[in-house]
């Protein structure tokens, strides 16, 4: 699907969709509870929908409630030997570690870009806790055999936090205690999200500066109260930029005290001279003159597309560090950002671990191909407001992965 985006729009308010990072963790935690748990504000992103299916395949019962809430009760049905993670990298890491602890034989498959994302690290990690693991030359499908009882594990955290998150959620269920030794961990805020959800579901994990984690075995997931999924800062980042470039915007549904690393977007806005404030209605972004900025996005790589648009709006050079974290996203996001934004007149280069942008405050009209990457598609929509006559977004439906009502919000605003 292609989508033409006009160059200007007047925007007042937008309600942000729920965080799929929180939602997937909460679904898994609820699926591991013996009592029923009510989850609200789950949303309908593709990643969440796939994870709900995997929850059922693990034996959980689901019952739809009013206002879109979902009642989940775990360990009710027979588990399926095959699970489909869709295109969710987090979903794959979570479900694989859980299957390793629950035991038996499993095949885990995926779709689209997930089949091209390397997962050979599983073979190194799971064999340390006694689980047989094989991949297809380092890619899906993934086959597991055996049951992890806990133990000592060493992992390389330089490629991200998702492998660690899977282990942190799985090993409390193991028979024995576990210790995880992590080197060069990146994306630490996502571990804070994991630890927050674990705490909300009665699981205790100790750690020393994110390098050494101690996990007692034989724990039980439990929760007596409903659990509300908070709004997603990754999706909100696009509207923050939109508001700064146009007539301002009020963003609702965000938690000011969030653990989400992408809340660092507010730090970037301050660096770039964008005015904003919190009030009872949400976060107000004011139309502002955007200044060039330097920012290290290594801990929040999902912000890169929105940051590129913000840098394009500034007159001068901006530098965004952490570009090497973008190689194995839904696309090679660094290369796609350079290719697509260069095609509409932005001077942008990938130099080492940096994206270097020479902004001039405007972009050319034309076309941007999302490469089936939801964050490229959303950033392209915001970039359209810098053009004289708009942009065409190719594969605009890719937003369904995280923000299925993005285009509805755009139209309504």
Distances in whole angstroms, Cα of residue 310 to Cα of each of 3, 179, 252, 341: 21, 42, 21, 12
Within 10 angstroms of residue 276's Cβ, the number of other Cβ atoms is: 19
Q: 32 and 412 in contact (C-beta within 8 Å)?
A: no
Rounded CA-CA distance 339/118 in Å is: 23
Instruction: State whether residue 4 is helix, strand or coil.
Output: strand
Residue in the block written with tokens 């709900």: 52
Strands 70-73 and 61-64, by their bridges, are antiparallel
DSSP state of 350: E
Bridge partners (DSSP) listed for residue 134: 143
98 phi and psi angles, rounded to 5 deg: -65, -45
Residue 176 annotated to the active site = no
- Which of the following is catalytic: 47, 232, 302, 373? 302
Report the greatest alpha carbon distance in the chain.
Answer: 63
Rounded CA-CA distance 94/36 in Å is: 21
148 phi and psi angles, rounded to 5 deg: -75, 135
Rounded CA-CA distance 250/239 in Å is: 9
Find the helix or strand (DSSP H, E) in which 23 lies. Answer: helix 20-31
Contacts of 30 by beta carbon, 8 Å cutoff, 6+ apart: 37, 39, 55, 60, 72, 74, 201, 221, 223, 227
User: Hey, what's the torsion of the CAs at 243, 245, 246, 247, to 10 degrees?
Assistant: 50
Rounded CA-CA distance 406/317 in Å is: 30
**Strands ordered across the beta sheet of 151-156:** 151-156, 178-183, 212-215, 205-208
Catalytic residues: 302
């Amino acid at each position: 699907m292609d989508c033409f985006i006009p160059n200007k729009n007047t925007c007042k308010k937008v309600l942000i969709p729920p965080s799929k990072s929180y939602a997937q963790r909460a679904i898994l935690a609820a699926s591991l509870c013996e009592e029923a748990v009510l989850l609200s504000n789950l949303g309908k992103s593709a990643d969440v929908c796939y994870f709900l299916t995997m929850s059922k395949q693990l034996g959980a019962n689901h019952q739809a409630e009013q206002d879109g809430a979902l009642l989940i009760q775990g360990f009710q049905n027979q588990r399926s030997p095959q699970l489909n993670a869709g295109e969710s990298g987090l979903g794959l890491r979570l479900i694989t570690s859980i299957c390793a602890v629950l035991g038996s034989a499993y095949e885990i498959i995926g779709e689209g870009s997930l089949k091209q994302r390397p997962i050979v690290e599983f073979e190194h990690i799971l064999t340390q806790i006694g689980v047989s693991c094989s991949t297809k030359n380092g890619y899906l499908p993934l086959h597991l055999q055996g049951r992890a009882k806990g133990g000592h594990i060493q992992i390389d955290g330089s490629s991200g936090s998702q492998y660690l998150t899977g282990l942190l959620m799985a090993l409390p269920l193991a028979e024995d205690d576990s210790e995880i030794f992590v080197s060069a961990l990146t994306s630490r805020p996502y571990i804070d999200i994991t630890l927050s959800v674990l705490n909300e579901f009665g699981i205790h994990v100790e750690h020393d500066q994110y390098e050494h984690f101690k996990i007692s075995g034989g724990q039980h997931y439990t929760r007596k109260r409903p659990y509300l999924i908070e709004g997603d800062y990754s999706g909100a980042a696009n509207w923050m930029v939109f508001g700064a470039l146009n007539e301002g915007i009020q963003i609702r549904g965000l938690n000011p005290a969030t653990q989400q690393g992408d809340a660092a977007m507010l730090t970037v806005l301050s660096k770039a001279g964008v005015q904003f404030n919190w009030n009872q209605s949400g976060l107000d972004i004011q139309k502002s003159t955007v200044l060039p900025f330097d920012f290290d996005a290594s801990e929040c790589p999902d912000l890169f597309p929105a940051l590129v648009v913000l840098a394009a709006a500034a007159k001068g050079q901006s530098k965004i560090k952490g570009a090497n974290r973008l190689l194995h996203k839904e696309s090679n996001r660094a290369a796609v950002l350079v290719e697509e934004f260069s095609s509409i007149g932005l001077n942008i280069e990938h130099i080492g671990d940096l994206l270097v942008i020479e902004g001039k405050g405007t972009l050319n009209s034309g076309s941007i191909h999302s490469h089936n990457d939801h964050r490229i598609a959303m950033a392209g929509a915001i970039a359209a407001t810098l053009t004289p006559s708009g942009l065409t977004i190719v594969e605009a439906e890719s937003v369904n992965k995280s923000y299925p009502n993005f285009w509805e919000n755009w139209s309504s605003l």
